[in-house]
Amino acid sequence: QSVLTQPPSASGTPGQRVTISCSGSSSNIGSHTVNWYQKLPGTAPKLLMYSNNQRPSGVPDRFSASKSGTSASLAISGLQSEDEADYYCAAWDDSLNGPVFGGGTKLTVL
């Protein structure tokens, strides 16, 4: 059981916009910034978004993220087949005194 809650799956067709939610509590998302990671099958996780809504260099602007209260969301517009991956949200947790992750959302591009 992950500390942060994500839907296990999401899907969309090429060109569509999809969003992935991440729900936490006052001890994590409510007090700290949220980061998002993309994990393609058989590869290392990759930083996708940090500090709630900042894109690292090289991440397309099709990816965006936001945070409100104890929840966050990742949006992918102009969906492409290469976006098919697992997406994880993460934040520091004051109660556990360490970073915590969501259970991951498997995105399927139909």
Partner 1 sequence: QVQLVESGGGVVQPGRSLRLSCAASGFTFSSHAMHWVRQGPGKGLEWVAVISYNGNSKYYADSVKGRFTISRDNSKNTLYLQMNNLTPDDTSVYYCASEGIVGGHIYFDYWGQGTLVTVSS
Summarize as ranges the residues that interact with partner 1 (CB under 8 A): 2, 32-33, 35, 37, 43-47, 50-51, 54, 56, 88, 90, 92, 96-104
Comparing CB distances to partner 1, the nearer of 96 and 110 is 96
**Beta-carbon-side half-sphere exposure of residue 87 (alpha carbons within 13 Å):** 32
Comparing CB distances to partner 1, the nearer of 59 and 110 is 59
Q: Count Cβ neighbours within 10 Å for each residue of 3-35 and write b for 16 or more, e otherwise.
A: bbebeeebebeeeeebebebbbbebbbeebbbb
Residue 38 CB, nearest approach to partner 1 (Å): 11
The arrangement of strands across the sheet holding 18-23 comes to: 18-23, 71-76, 63-68
Comparing CB distances to partner 1, the nearer of 38 and 78 is 38
Comparing CB distances to partner 1, the nearer of 76 and 91 is 91
Residue 27 CB, nearest approach to partner 1 (Å): 14
Residue 109 CB, nearest approach to partner 1 (Å): 21
Greatest Cα-to-Cα distance within the chain, rounded to the nearest angstrom: 40
